[in-house]
Structures are given as C-alpha cells and as structure tokens.
Chains A and B, each alone.
Chain A
Amino acid sequence: MLDPMAALRRAVAGATLVGLAAAAPAPAAAQGKFLDVGKQAPITILINASPWYAGFEKAVDLYVKQTGNEVNLDVTPYGGMLEKARNAVRGSTSPYDILNLDSGWTIEFYEAGFLKPLGEIDASIKLPEEVLECGNTFWWNADKRYRTPAGGKLMGVPPNCNIHIVAYRADLFKQAGIEAPKTYDDVLAACKKVQNPPGLYGFVTRGERGNGIRYDFSTFMLGHGVDVVADASGGDYTVTMNSPKVLAALNQFITLMKTCAPTNAGSLGQADVIQLMSSGKAAMVQTVIAAWGNYEDKTKSAVAGKVAAAPVPQAVPGQKAGVAIGNWNFTVPKNTPADRQKAAVAFMKWFLTGEAQRAYAEAGGIPVRVDTLKSDLAQKPQFSWMPAYLASIEIGQPTLGFAESAEVEQVMGLRLNQALIGELAPAKALNLAADEIAAIFTRTGRKTGKLPPLPE
C-alpha cells in the first residue's frame, strides 16, 4: 500500500528544505548545477524505514521540486522489504520501478534474472569515480556467480553504504582522561574505567539472534583476518568458521559483552542499542553509521552534542580493522515498463551527483561520494562522524557474498547467539556452525571442505 500522505509530506518537507536552503547562505558546492534529467515517467521506489530514510526522503523532495518528475515512496519496515521485492519481480508488471535491496539479498535476485542491468536501460550510465565501492555489491558476474566489476554488469547503485562506527561519549572520556578507542582492547579498558551498571553500561552492540549478532560480530572476525569461507571470490568455499582465529574473535566479543553490556546482551537489537546510547545509558556503542542521527538529534537524544565517532577498532593491535559493509542497492526490476526503467535510472544518476549527495547529507543522509565526505561539511560538528566513517569505509569489505547467504546467516546468527548466552561453549558453537555451513555448500555443489574441529 502506498502512503497517501507521502506526497503531502514530501511537498511540505521539500518546501521546508528549499526554504531553509534559500534562507541560509549556501556553501559553494551546493550552488553547483544539479543534473537535468528532463521530463520522466512517474516512478515508485520500495524503500526501507531505516534510520537514514528521513535524509533520503528530503533528497527525493528536492528531486521532485527541481525536475517536476513524480516519485512515490513505499516506505516499508525492514522485515517486509524482502517479501515485497520478491512479490514485485514475480508479477506481470512490478509495482516498483526501483527496488532497494539489502546487499545480502542481491544475489538471489541477480541469479534468478529478475533485475535489468542498468547498462541495458541507459548505455551512458556509469558510476562516478567519486562513488564509494561499497564492496561492489551492485556488480554481477553471472559466469563466476559473484559480485565483482571484473567481467560483471552494473545491476544497481548504492543509496547507502552502511558500516559500523563506534559512537562514544566524548564528555565521559574527557572526564576520565582517556582517548578514543583504537583497538577492542582499548574498548575493554575504557569500558571498565567509565562504566557504572545498571546506570551506565561501558560498551554495547547487537547480540540478538540472526542478522544482528552475525553482522556486529563480523567486525571482530574480519579484524582477526578471517572470514566464513576461505576465498569465495576465487571459488574456494572451504569453511573457516571454526578456525582458531574465529574462536579468538568470538572469545573477544563475548568478553566485551559480558564485561560491558547489559545482562540481556543476547537479545539486544538495533533499536535497543540506539536507545541505550540516546538515553545516556551507554558510554560506547558499535552501531551502523545510519544510526548516527539518533544520537545528535536533540528531540530524540539526551546526549546530543556529547557524542563522538571513532572508526571500527582493530581486533588485533597493529592489524587492519575488520569493517563489514552492509549496504543497500537501488535496482530496477525487469518487469517494469521501459519508460519507467528509464525514469528510474535518471533518478539514480541525479541522486549520485555531488550536488544531490551534499543535499542528501545535509538532510541527514549518509552520502556515498568521497568528495562529499571530504568536503567542508566534515568540519561541522553535526558531521563529525564523516572522518571516522571515511577511515573505515576505505578498508571495508562485503560479507556473505554468495547465493547461500540467507541460510548461512541463519546458522551463524543462531550459533553465535548460543555462544554469547552460554548455551554452547564457543568452540562447540563454531564447530556446529562449520558443520552446518559446509553441509549447505555441499548441497549447492560448491567446492567446499572443513577445518579440523576445534578442541571442545
């Protein structure tokens, strides 16, 4: 169901944004000319009600205002996005002209042939070089069954490149005379120094079963230099989930959560983590960058103006930090009319311009262009997260880049959660996960294998 109030909301928000822009002296970059995409057919976008949505909505308002082209938004909770997208591509005509897909879902749609390569809609489309790679999840090489620009087709563009940052209470750190954490050891030390549970928890990240713990643990796992499989891009699906390095990462994660997080760490979701920080009950949280607005918004946060951002900490001191990219992808269904496909690509091209990205950032979005992230905006207090974000995104890597990702995530999400809550010993949990993941790859015909089991 499309929101009947959406047009009105967008009109009001757009007018507000334009009014604000007119009232305030615009920075140099914002005075640049926006891309003229001409008159286009009306389009409908399936978009998630994520923390970055408000910024995106305002960018859409600006597009509508500038071009006169109609854009309808079907704003959907995360839990309903995948099913709506699946239904849309299976009908005779898709109700949506742009599907926003979580990177974990893209392969299912690429492999099934539900999406139109963007180059087949508009031969002139190419990603501006300033746009972040975001793990290259919007490229698809059908022969390799892998997301890569090498021999791959451009299937979408990124509206958001989500990665983790550590948001911490700068005021508390200053009082305690400690620096922003650079490693997870620093996080543990700082947590012990500042925490005072249950009034103030030292460090919190998601521990709930499923995507939450799987994604948040990935910074620890990748930081130890290991992933779920040996080399997915090279076709080697030997399961490394139960390597000693992953065990070290899991022990590190559990130690942090047991020492610093609330008793209900095993059921903490994204809303809980954001709430703990915003209410002043957490000294440090590891959340996706998209959540940043919640900490700095005075109407939602008791700690606005007191929070600073640090890049993802190193899991092993001296080694590269593990940054897991969990981005979104704007894609075009095959079963949408040609004029609307063209209009969808026109919107994408406009959205990725420097001017639009700046407006998107100013409205609270997370821009996907390096030049926007390095612009004068980064010097302003409300954009203090930009340097930390940029430092992390440049070393980010995609996770679960294979067709079996949904099943593998279910396995990891369960076993990691069982280890965290103490239902299984860490080694036992990882051995079980490795067995189950190897069974998935065996069934799907991958070249797979297992490491020797960890001593339990």
Chain B
Amino acid sequence: MRSRAGEFLDRTFPTWSLAPAAIIFIVLSVYPILNLLHMSVSTFRTVDGVDRATFDPLANLRFFATDPVLKAAIVNTLIFVAVSVAIELLIGLALAIQVARLRRGKGLIRTLMILPILVPPVAIGSMWKLILNYDFGVLNQGLALVGLGPVNWLGDQTLALVSVIIVDVWHWVPFIFLILFAAVEGLPVDVMEAAKIDGATDRQVTWHVMLPLLKPAISVAFIFRAILAFKAFDEVFLLTGGGPGTSSELISLHLYKIFFVQNNVGYGAMLSITMILMVVAFLLVARQATASGAGDRP
C-alpha cells in the first residue's frame, strides 16, 4: 500500500523534474525582460554611488514624443530590413538552386560561401570601411581606372544606407544560401524527374515544382534573417555611425547612443521594448503569411 505522499510525488514528478530548467529559463530570460519593463517606466539618478529608480513613465514617454532622431531611425530600419532581406533572399535562393545543379565542386563552393559568416563583424566593418574609403578605397581606385568616380559611398546622404545594405548583403547571403541549399538538396528527386518526364522545362520545374516545395525553408530563412536585420548594429556603427545626418541611423544604433552615450537608461529601456514589440509584430504577420502559404504545399 503506497502512501498518499508517495502517490503525490509520483503524480507530480514530471513537474518537479522540469523545475531546474524552468528556474534557469526564468532567471536568464524572464527576469531581464521584467527588469527592462521596470526600467522603461522609471527614471534613474545616481546618488553616492547608488543608482536610484523613480517610477515616472511619463518622463520616458515625453522623450519618446520629442526624440528628433527616432522617426528617421524607424524609417531607415524598415527600409534596411525590407531591402537587405529581399536582396539576400533572391541572391541566396538563386545561388542555392544553381549550385545544387552542379555535378562537381559543390563542397568547395559551400566552403567558400560560408567564409563571410565566419569573419568577425568588427573585421567586416573595418575591411569595408577601407574598401569604401573615398580617397584610398579599392573600390574608388578601381572606378578611377575606368574613368569613373570617385563615389562618396559613406559620406553621401543617399548612398550611406545603400552602402550599409551592400555590406550586409555580402555578409548575410551565405546564411540564406546555406539554409536554402540544404533544402534544395533535400528535395524529392522523383517529383522533379516526373515533372521533366511530363515535359516541363527547367524553368517550369523551378517555378512550379521547386519553389512551392521550398516555401517552408524560404519562410524560415526569411524570418530568421529579418529578425537579425531588425537588430543590425555593428555594420552601421562601424561604417557610418548613423550619418551623415540621420541618413543611416538604425534603431539599434540609436538605442546604443541613448543607453551608452547619453546614459538615459529609462528611455533606452522604453526604446528596447518598442523594438521588441516591432519584431514581435513582424513575426506575427510573417507567421500568418507563411501559415496561409503552407497550404500550397503539394
């Protein structure tokens, strides 16, 4: 005859066994977010070496309403995410399909393609800053050889964000390529062959067979990359610092300046929450869109 306590322990054992993982998750994830929420409705002042918070959400909202750079940062971020992710998806997908069709050298190309992801972001920023330098950059030197330029890549309001996007595309196309290449390699060969036996051209196979089958992988690549693009910081920080003017200011960079340059912790936290909400809203829309697209799968 087992005791009631023993029965209770048996019954609740799955819950107890999850407790360590749950506690770690709460400590490492939920607590910082709760702390961020608390900070976003507070203003901070340091007295005698101790940081003191005062509950004052209106103060941070006032910053929010009067921030002269925020609008430009939001617009630039949306442009950056839309353009860079779209280009990366198109190039990554095209490369994945083309490389998958090769009979030899796939391994070598895959190895070469992964290199930009392996380069540390600081090195990427420094390297491209040198490449795009107005007076000494390789790119302008090359253009001069063919009688063009020099182009003010990083100092022109219209080109600064374009330059950051170019670097971002160079950096992240391999990421998209690797995801989609694995997906293309995993496609059922018999379906493709059946389409060809039925008289479909290569182009028709790509459009009407491969792409529908690749939709889930494309969705995953798009969502992953878009989330990362919303948070892009290192490239713009190193290349342009958000300038000239506000032409390449992104939310993450603006957040850095508010938090770490101006030491405005309360408003910085409120901006962080805003950014998190933006990404969550994007994810919900993207999930909705991909869920409706999932029905197209054969």
Contacts and interface: CB of A to CB of B under 8 A. Distances in A.
A112 B244 CA distance: 34
Contact of A421 (B47, B68, B69, B245): B245
Contact of A113 (B49, B68, B150, B152): B49
A113 B46 contact: yes
Interface in B242-298: 242-246, 257, 260-264
Contacts of B257: 410
B56 to A, nearest CB: 12
A406 B263 contact: yes
A302 to B, nearest CB: 12
A107 B119 CA distance: 39
Contacts of B133: 272
Contacts of A262: 134-135
Contact of A267 (B136, B244, B264): B244
A208 B49 contact: no
Nearest to A276: B135
Contacts of A417: 243-245
A109 to B, nearest CB: 9
A421 to B, nearest CB: 5
B215 to A, nearest CB: 42
A264 B260 contact: no
A418 B68 CA distance: 13
Given A83-B260, A414-B69, A267 B46 contact: no
Contacts of A268: 155
A131 interface: no
A410 B155 contact: no
Contacts of A111: 46
B49 A266 contact: no
Max chain B C-beta neighbours (<10 A), residue from A275, A414, A417? A414
A271 to B, nearest CB: 9
Given A198-B150, A436-B68, A265 B155 contact: yes
Contacts of B48: 112-113
A281 interface: yes
Contacts of B150: 198, 263
A112 B48 CA distance: 6
B49 A112 contact: yes
A209 B49 contact: no
A108 interface: yes
B154 interface: yes
Contacts of B243: 208-210, 266-267, 417
A334 interface: yes
A266 B244 CA distance: 6
B241 interface: yes
A297 interface: no
Max chain A C-beta neighbours (<10 A), residue from B47, B49, B135, B240? B135
Interface of A: 82-83, 86, 89-90, 108, 111-114, 198, 208-210, 262-268, 272, 275-276, 279, 281, 334-335, 406-407, 410-411, 414, 417-418, 421, 423, 432, 436, 439
13 contacts: A83-B260, A108-B263, A114-B46, A208-B244, A209-B242, A263-B150, A266-B155, A267-B155, A407-B264, A414-B68, A414-B246, A421-B155, A436-B68
Given A279-B136, A423-B245, 19 more contacts: A82-B261, A90-B49, A90-B51, A112-B46, A113-B48, A113-B49, A210-B241, A262-B135, A263-B134, A263-B150, A264-B155, A265-B155, A268-B155, A406-B261, A410-B261, A411-B68, A414-B245, A418-B244, A421-B244
**What 5 A-B pairs come out closest when comparing CB atoms?**
A264-B155, A112-B46, A267-B155, A209-B243, A266-B244
